[in-house]
Amino acid sequence: MPFGELITTMAAAIARGDGAAAAACFHANGVYHDVFYGAFPRAEIPRMVSDYFHRDATNFIWDMHDPVSDGHIGYARYVFSYDGRLPGSEGRRALFEGVSICTLRDDLILAYHEVANTATGLLGLGFPAARLERIVARQAEALAARDEAAHHRAGG
């Protein structure tokens, strides 16, 4: 299946709560790396969808835009939203934008990563400034710890 169809199928499956259909978009050794919940191998993707995504939110909309791929890596810009279920965020709408980054093997997703503007969505959920600061600090630490950031940390 072409990458644009694959990534749209995955997103639609997660949005409707069909973890098995989302997992079917992944290679047997595939891993979904979620910006909030961490890494889930293919066999755990159904649990990620039910026990994390749909536990903490409802009424998902996940639209993929401008997917591109060379057969080995694929990118797609997205807009993602949901209604919060977490204490204090009930009924509030979160709205995010980001980019999905997929390593591909045998026309399936081997690794799903994303770069997301999380602050917009979390602000929409009513997260207090101190909580947003902790989340952004964690994201900054994770970026700084990556190998490709080493020369950036050193200043050149």
Tokens 């595939």 sit on residue:
30
Fold designation for 3-117: Nuclear Transport Factor 2; Chain: A, (3.10.450)
Is the pTM higher than 0.85? The answer reads yes
Query: 154: pLDDT confidence band, cut at 50, 70 and 90?
Result: confident
Query: 126: pLDDT confidence band, cut at 50, 70 and 90?
Result: very high
pLDDT of residue 156 exceeding 80, the answer is no
- Positive/negative CA dihedral, 140, 113, 121, 126: negative
**What is the rounded CA–CA span in Å between residue 27 and residue 111?**
9
- Give φ, ψ of 127 to 5 degrees: -65, 135
> Quick one: pLDDT at residue 7?
99
> Quick one: pLDDT at residue 135?
87
Using only the alpha carbons of the chain, give its radius of gyration. 16
Query: 145: pLDDT confidence band, cut at 50, 70 and 90?
Result: very high
Q: What are the tens digits of pLDDT across the range 19-75?
A: 999 999 999 999 999 998 999 999 999 999 999 999 999 999 999 999 999 999 999
**What is the rounded CA–CA span in Å between residue 24 and residue 42?**
8
Domain regions of the chain by residue span: 3-117, 126-156
**What is the rounded CA–CA span in Å between residue 47 and residue 36?**
15
Strongest mean pLDDT among 50-54, 115-119, 124-128: 50-54
